[in-house]
Every structure is written in C-alpha cells, then in structure tokens.
Chain A
Amino acid sequence: MATKTGIQVTPPTDKPAVALSKEEVMRYSRHLIMPEVGMEGQLKLKAAKVLCIGTGGLGAPLGLYLAAAGVGRIGLVDFDSVDSTNLQRQILFSTSDVGRPKIEAASDRLHGLNPDIQIDPIETRLTSENALEILKDYDIIVDGTDNFPTRYLVNDACILLGKPNVYGSIFRFEGQVTVFGHPGGPCYRCLYPEPPPPGLVPSCAEGGVLGVLPGIVGAIQAAETLKLIIGKGEPLVGRLLLFDALAMRFRELKLRKNPECPACGEHRTITKLIDYAEFCGIRGEEAPAPQTTVPEITPRELKARLDRGDDIFILDVREPHEYQICNLGGNLIPLGDLSKRVNELDSSREIVAHCRSGKRSAEAVEFLRSAGFRKVLNLKGGILAWSDEVDPSVPKY
C-alpha cells in the first residue's frame, strides 16, 4: 500500500507534484493509515481546490472539515458580516467576531485550524457577471447559499463550466443533500425546473432553523466533497438525501436526469447566465416580495394615537410561540386562523394588525378588507420597527 512509503510517494499523474512534509504526515496520520484515503488520497486533497459559496450555517462545518482534512485551496464567497443571531448555528464564528466581515473571520479561523492550506477570501455577492470568473479556478463547488436566485445561478454556472456542485439546503429541522453536475448526473433544474414564487415558501429567517441541522447537512456536504476528491465510495449522485432531525430519519429518493432540462438536457436553452432575480421574480434576497399596498400606520403614529386614548384594537397575527418572545399587548389570532376566527373581530372598531416585520399582517389586512372590514391598518415594519422607533426594550428576533 502506498501509505507505508510516507513522503516519497509519487503524486498521481496529471496532478501538480506535491508532497507532504513530516509535520503534515503527522497531522493527517488518521487519514494516511486508512487505505481509502492513504497517501494518494491525501495528496489529492492537498492538490484540490474547492469553492464554498456561503460561509453561514452550511459553510461553517463544511469549511472547518475541508480545512481540517487538508484540502489545499479553499475559496470562500460571502458578503455578509457576522451578527449575533448567526452564533446559534454558524460555528465558524465567536462572539468576538460579531460585526466583522464573515470572510475575514472565517479565513482567520480556518488558517488557525490549518496554516498549511491556502484560503481565498472572496468578499462579494455572487452575480451573473462574476460567477464564471470566480468558479472557474476551482475543481468542486459547494453550494451553501440561502436563496433561490443564487442556487439557480450556482447550478447554471457549474453546468456551463462542467463542475460538480455539492448541494445542501435546510429548513427548520429538515435538510436536502445531493451532488449535481456530476458527469451523466442530474442538475438542480432537473429536480426543480422553477423556483417558488416569492412569499409562498418561508425563508429560514421567517421559519427558523434548528442550530445543529446545518451542522449535520454541511458535514454531509463535506463528506461528499472529500469523496469526490479522493474518488472513493459512492457519490450522492442521482439520489436526493432527505434528513428530518425531529424524526431523526434519513430517506433517499431517486433523482433522474431530465432529458428536457433547459440547463443540462440534450437541447439545452441556457447557454449563458441570466438575470436570476428576475427568474425568481424578486429583486434580490433582501427586497421584500412585491405586495399589493395596504393602508398602513407607522409605529410612531400608532404610539401617538394610543397615548391620546384612541380606541384601537391591536391584532397580533403571529404564532403563539412568537407572542411569548415579545408582544405589544395585542390580541393574538395567528394569520392561519384568521379566516376561521374573523367573527371574533368587531368591524366597527379601528383595527391595527401587526406581525414581526409587517409582511404577514399585510396579508391579514388584505384579507380583512376583502371580508368587509373598512377600518383596518397594517403596522408598518411590525414589531421590529416598533422596537426601533418606539420602544427599544422590546426584543427583536
């Protein structure tokens, strides 16, 4: 076995001539003594170039394990800064990193873990203009992003460049993992030809996520990436792995290559990158979904009117568990129950509906107006804006 010969092993052909130092042999000894990795596999890891898109929940365990495993060059793409709500799951970061650019904090952490590898900090938002240029230098792309436009962008760029895309995504306590763009295998568009319209599927910011879930899913992505590099085992190609942390159950579904796929099919129509925000019907992740305008009241106006003693019924359309986090003393009827409980409301009174950010309550206002309520307003910006503008003692979540 090649592993016994230590640092004298000839690297695999068509790879750059790399060798391991004495210190590296020691560091990677638990890989080297395993025939599935061995010296040959470890040298492949050292020669490998992996791009991690997103350094958040999925990118954290991924980056840590790839760096620890000795992947020679790791590119990190992110444009965000660390905030305190990240720390519940993004284990790359420490409390002292809050406010720092994620790329900078992540690079420091990975360098601290493994000073022998090259980290490429790429502090930018991946766009149709820069994606091909950024991706082209890497062997494997790992998608740990958090929004549909970037996921379709990463997919199409990987297909155009012929690079594998190790995909993982999460919601609350459920995850999906697979490998797209492998020769002969399906791509993301084979699985989902189109994204959901904005607003129909809640994001993690709205739906929450169990902190350890991205840890598990990101670690599976890391395992698949390492397997692709060393060329061992059975890659997760043509199989969609579903994980439910609440039931603690893994399931596997067959994933087929769609012959009609516009990105990877025989008669493909996607020959260059497109406008993915437009494709997904939105203008970027932060932009709110286009909404019909409903009558609004600002937190300051509401405060002034309540102080004046105006008779206003405050309707809180959030969920009971959110009410426990913080509330404005309103009457709780979750949006999902509103149609059943509408008879509890007095249409002769003035009603101000609110939620966390103003999005769900806008739906509530629209519904109530269609049900004949005339004096109903939406609290602009929800409880978040109330905390900013009126009462900073109300916690934001």
Chain B
Amino acid sequence: MAVKVIIPTPLRAYAGKQESVEVQAATVAEALTSLTSRFGELKKHLFAEDGRLRSFVNVYVNDEDIRYLQKDQTRVREGDTISIVPSIAGGSRG
C-alpha cells in the first residue's frame, strides 16, 4: 500500500530535505522502518535505543494519534497520510 509520510521541518535535514516521502507499507511500523532504512540518520531521531518511538515524537494516521489506535501496529490503507509531529519549543527569543 502506498502511503505518504509527512516529514516535519526539524527532521527534514535527515530525510534528504524532503517534505514528504512515499513508502509501501501495511502498518505504521512498516512505514517507519521503510523510511528509516532509506534515511538512516532519521532513526535516532525517531526511536530511542530500546527501539521504541521517542516520547516527544507523535505519529498520526490521517488526523488520529496512533497512541489511541493500535500504536505502531495501526494498519494503513492506500492513500493514507502518516504525519510525524515532534515537539518544538521556539517562540520568544527564538
């Protein structure tokens, strides 16, 4: 299944400066594995050493947080959009 993964601005530097990447996957886990196998540097930004998704990185399938679906086993369908949304803190002194 072809799904689009939207790469957030802070992580684009580690994903060939691309805004989004299309991958073939049936689950969120497969999509992220496919992504990090293509862009090795992304891995340490998305996953902690124990292989779990980092707690300041949220992943959505369309507009739903996967923590409230089946986590990384959430199934994706053709044409779905996966968004990676890390926390950003900028604002004042910037």
User: A residues bordering B, Cβ < 8 Å?
Assistant: 54-59, 78, 80, 86, 89, 143-148, 151, 168-174, 176, 191-196, 200-205, 207, 209, 214, 217, 240, 242, 244, 247, 251-256, 258, 336
Contact = CB atoms under 8 A, between A and B. Distances in A.
Given A207-B10, A253-B85, A336-B13, A170 B55 contact: no
Contacts of B64: 253-254
Given A191-B87, A201-B56, A252-B63, 17 more contacts: A56-B91, A58-B92, A86-B93, A89-B94, A145-B89, A146-B93, A148-B87, A169-B88, A171-B9, A176-B85, A192-B55, A192-B58, A193-B55, A196-B87, A204-B90, A207-B10, A254-B64
Nearest to A217: B91
10 contacts: A56-B93, A145-B89, A151-B89, A170-B88, A171-B9, A174-B9, A196-B54, A254-B65, A256-B65, A258-B67
B4 to A, nearest CB: 13
A200 B19 CA distance: 19
Contacts of B9: 171-174, 244
A196 B86 contact: yes
Given A56-B94, A171-B9, A203 B60 contact: no
Contacts of B89: 145-148, 151, 169, 195, 201, 203
Nearest to A242: B85
A339 B65 CA distance: 35
A55 B92 contact: yes
Contacts of B90: 57, 146, 169-171, 203-204, 207, 209
Contact of B19 (A147, A242, A247, A255): A247
Given A196-B54, A242-B85, A254-B64, A170 B13 contact: no
A253 to B, nearest CB: 5
A214 B89 CA distance: 12
A194 B93 contact: no
Given A252-B63, A253-B65, A254-B64, A171 B19 contact: no
Given A174-B9, A192-B56, A240 B85 contact: yes
Nearest to B90: A204
A170 B91 contact: yes
B61 to A, nearest CB: 10
Nearest to A144: B91
Nearest to A336: B13
A58 B88 CA distance: 14
Name the 7 nearest CB pairs between A and B, nearest first: A56-B92, A54-B92, A204-B90, A204-B94, A146-B92, A171-B88, A194-B55
Contacts of B87: 148, 169, 191-192, 195-196, 201
Nearest to A143: B91
B41 interface: yes
B92 A176 contact: no
Given A171-B9, A173-B9, A336-B13, A196 B91 contact: no
